[in-house]
Structure 1
Amino acid sequence: MTQKVIIFDFDGTIADTVDALVCIANNLAVQFGYIPITANELALLRNLTAREIISYSGISIFKIPFLVKKVKAELKDKIPCLKPITGIREALIELNNQGYRLGIITSNSQENVTEFLKVNNLDYLFDFIESGVTIFGKTTIINNVLRQKNLKLQTVMYVGDETRDIEASKKANIKVIAVTWGFNSHEALAKKHPDFLIHQPRELIDVVKEFD
């Protein structure tokens, strides 16, 4: 039987980084020319796609790559204090024990992800980590990984917490599990019609079994 591959997003899916990222974004607001995010606005932003958030913020699209680079650099100092999403460690260990091949595709830096996994004793679970700067989606990175690792589409699933994860997976023609414990709301994710929509990490085990 062909080994199944489960690819995870990092921020908001494995690592509980949403609050840290909002804090960093607010600290950089003046420098990059957008209004800091209030608690009420965060609730609103959770219902928006990446494109809608950029439009809402008013930030110049030309500044986005520089902002992303700065956010990654600022997050590096917070890595030792960040923790995994509650329950995700157990789910990852169980998937690994059941013989699934695990990987990560993220717009965060490989350095940040590797350090987080090491600090939280999760590094041994993942076969690969791929990083790339993406604003609106990860389709190119996903396709590159599929090609480089010679993975068949029907053997791969992607797990992510944002609408752009769903869009990218669909464009890459792979199954996608959307999770509601990260950034985007249940409502926003549901509108994009993922193959599966789950609310707790422990649900991953049963959903992946359906994939078999």
Structure 2
Amino acid sequence: MKIVGIDEAGRGSVLGPLVVCGVAIEENRVKYLERLKLRDSKKLSPKRRIVLSRKIKKIAECYPVKITAQDIDLLRSKDVNLNEIEKIAMKKIIGDSEPDISIIDCIDVKPKRFKAEIETYKENLEVVAEHKADDKYVIVSAASIVAKVERDSEVQKIRKEFKEIGSGYPSDPKTIAFLKKTSYEDLPDFVRKSWATVAKTR
């Protein structure tokens, strides 16, 4: 019985990619993940996340899907909202990992509706969709950690070239300062230009 846990990193960010990640493992091997004492990635230091991500990859199969800022803007211009964008990535993860059970940190306000849709992605797929699943299920905690490390790696590449960009989130004064000092025409490809945050800085 194969299980895949799915979570994301960078959903609310105005800079960099959205990373949706699946971590897949046979049910009888989940105990090896439990021994790592995983918690949601937001509660761990960056160094600890990197260490745990490497350990997770040795134990389980990882399926990160990176959706660039350009792709997000293009899809949003076609009236595809962020939930639908994430579902595209989830469908790919489920197709690639071929699980029997998928446990997902629910992105819909109505978990039952979300669960019913995800179940159509694969025949005989059992879906567990819950809010804050990353706090309840070790397989989703693992996906959360790998997703965050993958996104942090991409943001670090941007930071090396552009220096003071902050965390990429609208609540970060450094991120807002970066957006304000850059004209709209000169905004780099890693900026989600369709975000309301960008319009507010014009």
Normalising by the residue count of structure 2, what TM-score does the alignment of the two structures yield?
0.30
TM norm structure 1: 0.29
Higher strand share: 2
Higher relative contact order (CA 8 A, sep 6+): 2
Work out which of the two has the higher radius of gyration on C-alpha atoms and give 1 or 2: 2
